[in-house]
């Protein structure tokens, strides 16, 4: 695995490691107050980033150009800001990070859609 796919997979693994450690910490403390943020770390960080990694690995031509780099930046920025932002929102603190992280996560999915559509148009039909 190389290129953007490799970076997405590495980020996904880091996210799940933090998610697992956080889950263990919450269980040990008996305090699941921040479980919503923990769930988003696992879902957006581990699952979504892994799906992106495997798409780019299976469709290597999709990694070409600046759009996949923008996708990576938006996706990583989204996870990094969304998770602590949700934790802050749960604790009734400032919601700015959650809003920015959510927007970046949404933007990352829109960019991914464009990448997939662009690649689909360029690929030969095999049906």
What's the predicted TM-score (pTM) here? 0.90
Tell me if 56 is assigned to some domain.
yes
Tell me if 71 is assigned to some domain.
yes
Tell me if 75 is assigned to some domain.
yes
Domain that holds residue 50: 3-121
Residue 120 confidence class, pLDDT cut points 50, 70, 90: confident
Q: What is the mean pLDDT of residues 41-47?
A: 96
Q: What is the largest CA-CA distance in the chain?
A: 54
Our count of domains for the chain comes to 1
Percent pLDDT > 90 in the chain is: 91
Percent pLDDT > 70 in the chain is: 96
Residues whose CB is less than 8 angstroms from the CB of residue 22 and which lie 6 or more positions away in sequence, other chains included: 34, 38, 41
Q: Give the model confidence (pLDDT) of 20-40 as tens digits.
A: 999 999 999 999 999 999 999
Tell me if 74 is assigned to some domain.
yes
d(CA 70, CA 122): 20
Residue 127 confidence class, pLDDT cut points 50, 70, 90: very low
Kindly tell me the number of DSSP H helices and DSSP E strands found in the chain: 5, 0
Tell me if 55 is assigned to some domain.
yes
Tell me if 126 is assigned to some domain.
no
Tell me if 115 is assigned to some domain.
yes
């Amino acid at each position: 695995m190389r290129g953007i796919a490799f970076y997405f997979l590495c980020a996904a693994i880091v996210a799940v490691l933090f998610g697992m450690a956080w889950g263990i910490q919450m269980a040990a403390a008996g305090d699941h107050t921040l479980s919503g943020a923990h769930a988003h770390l696992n879902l957006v960080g581990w699952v979504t980033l892994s799906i992106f990694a495997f798409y780019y690995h299976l469709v290597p031509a999709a990694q070409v150009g600046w759009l996949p780099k923008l996708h990576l930046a938006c996706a990583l920025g989204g996870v990094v800001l969304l998770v602590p932002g949700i934790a802050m929102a749960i604790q009734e603190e400032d919601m700015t990070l959650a809003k920015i992280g959510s927007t970046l996560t949404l933007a990352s999915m829109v960019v991914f859609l464009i990448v997939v559509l662009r690649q689909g148009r360029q690929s030969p039909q095999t049906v």
